[in-house]
Amino acid sequence: MIDFALEPELIELRDRVRTFVSDVVIPAEPRDSAEHGLDGALRAELQEAARRAGVFAPQVPRELGGLGLDMRGMAVVFEEAGYSILGPQALNCAAPDEGNMHLLGVVATAAQRERYLVPLAAGETRSCFAMTEPAPGAGSDPSMLRTRARRVDGGWAIDGRKWFITGAQGADFAICMALAEEGATMFLVDRENPGWRVDRIVDAIDRSFPGGHAEVTFEDCRVTDDAVLGEVGEGFRYAQVRLAPARLTHCMRWLGIARRALDVACDRAIEREAFGQRLGDLGMVQERIAQSVIDIETSRMLIWRCAWALDRGEPARHESSVAKAHVAEAVGRVVDRAVQICGSLGVSGDLPLARMLAEVRPFRIYDGPTETHHWAIARRALRQRERAVGRGEAR
């Protein structure tokens, strides 16, 4: 049974994060002038403030200096952090670092954890996850992986191109997926390694991720055997370890953005008068607000359902696909309605909605396009029905 009641400790933490975002993070938004994500100084300042407030790294185990929340607790806290685009960075629970922390915590050796996970969890370093490739390489279909890793004296050599690698510019290390003779394999590649380079920053419409989205080349990139993350040939299996939780935490954070957008729209509907009455008294505006409330509520329940499954140790591939497909579309609808309610003000820089609109639109593509998830969901439904019919369970 899913228990929707929150423990008093979690409620207290949720409220502290809400206050921190309201009192510290949102006032810092006008200072967010970096081209991509927070500049280093502002990021460090907000993270130090988060430490003082006791809200830093909520997902990180306590032995590494975090708060040790389970997935359900993360769902509650990450939503509050996401109320500001800067919130996840301040709490050190933003992508791609948050997903890489989880992967390293599950797969890395003790030495790798000390070298990579400890400073990442402390906010001292940044990372990237290098799997997506330009066509005809791996995108939504990871089996199309073209980056190769071959054995050489003392270790491995990696060759290939990667595309849309979030945070690669300025990352202290990359987790690179490459195809070895034994199968897909993950490698830890340090920033100082001369065998990889950032060729360019993609001109994408969103800019909340430090380092932006980069095109990266690995060219005779030499790494030692101890750079292999986990076991050789098990890369796709490890990708699943990272994928479902990371996909869900994206949903958690963006749900906070949707809530903020709805609050902005409601404020405008209350204060703005047109046609002799408040906007909020117009039926068409009320309909948009009601639809947004429903989108937010259903999104939260799907997130919590998936978090519950993950906390139980289930793979939750189906639950995470359903959550991602729904939440990505729902968040976009909520923000778009808010812009429409606010009119010209909504598309101006005087409100945060225009920035939100640019940030949330790519979410329908990141971590698998909505169409890919719909395809996977439908295939599972058809297989389940075929099995039920075969067992005589059809109704």
pLDDT for 308 equals: 95
Whose CA is closest to 169, among 37, 57, 43, 46? 37
pLDDT for 1 equals: 66
Residue 237 scores a pLDDT above 70: yes
255/288 same-domain check: yes
Local structure of 203: helix, strand or coil: coil
36/173 same-domain check: no
100 occurs within a structural domain: no
What angle is formed at CA 130 by the lines to CA 234 and CA 196, rounded to 5 degrees? 110
29 occurs within a structural domain: yes
Q: What number of residues does the chain have?
A: 395
Domain around 38: 8-94
253/328 same-domain check: yes
Helix-helix angle 235-271:353-360, to 10 degrees:
160
pLDDT for 395 equals: 63
**147 in the Ramachandran plot: left (φ > 0), alpha (ψ -120 to 50) or beta?**
beta
pLDDT tens digits for 279-292?
999 999 999 999 99
CATH number reported for the structural domain that contains residue 212 in this entry: 2.40.110.10
pLDDT tens digits for 61-120?
999 999 999 999 999 999 999 999 999 999 999 999 999 999 999 999 999 999 999 999
Q: How far apart are CA 11 and CA 69, in angstroms?
A: 13
Query: What's the pTM value of the predicted model, to 2 decimals?
Result: 0.95
Question: What is the pLDDT confidence band of residue 243, given thresholds at 50, 70 and 90?
Answer: confident
**Helix H or strand E segment including 112:** helix 110-112
pLDDT for 248 equals: 96
Contact 338, 354 (CB under 8 A): no
Local structure of 188: helix, strand or coil: strand
113 occurs within a structural domain: no
Q: How far apart are CA 350 and CA 271, in angstroms?
A: 16
Q: Which amino acid appears at position 303 of this protein?
A: I
Q: How far apart are CA 221 and CA 160, in angstroms?
A: 9
Residue 2 scores a pLDDT above 90: no
Question: What is the pLDDT confidence band of residue 357, given thresholds at 50, 70 and 90?
Answer: very high
pLDDT for 224 equals: 98
CATH number reported for the structural domain that contains residue 20 in this entry: 1.10.540.10
246/378 same-domain check: yes
77/140 same-domain check: no
39 occurs within a structural domain: yes
Contact 247, 95 (CB under 8 A): no
264 occurs within a structural domain: yes
359/224 same-domain check: no
Distances (CA, A) of 263 to 83, 135, 249, 257, 329: 10, 40, 22, 10, 19
DSSP 276: T
pLDDT tens digits for 193-220?
999 999 999 999 999 999 999 999 999 9
249 occurs within a structural domain: yes
Question: What is the pLDDT confidence band of residue 171, given thresholds at 50, 70 and 90?
Answer: very high
Q: Which of 198, 233, 268 is the last residue of a domain?
A: 233
139/250 same-domain check: no
Q: Which of 212, 233, 254 is the last residue of a domain?
A: 233
> Residues 6 or more apart from 273 whose CB is under 8 A from it?
279
DSSP 202: -
pLDDT over 90, % of the chain: 91
248/321 same-domain check: yes
368/247 same-domain check: yes
Tell me the sheet residues that pair with 166: 213
Q: Which range (12-21, 235-244, 249-258) has the least confidence?
A: 235-244
**Helix H or strand E segment including 277:** strand 277-278
* Dihedrals phi, psi of 162, to nearest 5 degrees: -125, 155
215/245 same-domain check: no
131/252 same-domain check: no
Average pLDDT, the chain: 95
256/386 same-domain check: yes
Whose CA is closest to 353, among 287, 254, 264? 264
pLDDT for 391 equals: 77
The domain tally of the chain equals 3
Residue 379 scores a pLDDT above 80: yes
* Dihedrals phi, psi of 154, to nearest 5 degrees: 85, 0
pLDDT for 198 equals: 97
> Residues 6 or more apart from 377 whose CB is under 8 A from it?
318, 321, 322, 325
Copy the structure tokens of residue 152: 């050489």
Tell me the sheet residues that pair with 196: 218
Q: Which long-range contacts (CB under 8 A, 24 or more apart) does 52-56 make?
A: 53/16, 53/20, 53/24, 54/16, 55/13, 55/16, 55/17, 55/20, 55/91, 56/91, 56/92, 56/123
CATH number reported for the structural domain that contains residue 262 in this entry: 1.20.140.10
Q: Which of 233, 251, 274 is the last residue of a domain?
A: 233
Give the mean model confidence (pLDDT) for residues 299-311: 96
pLDDT for 394 equals: 63
Q: How far apart are CA 265 and CA 203, in angstroms?
A: 29
Higher pLDDT pick, 143 / 54: 54
105 occurs within a structural domain: no
Whose CA is closest to 84, among 146, 136, 30? 30
383 occurs within a structural domain: yes
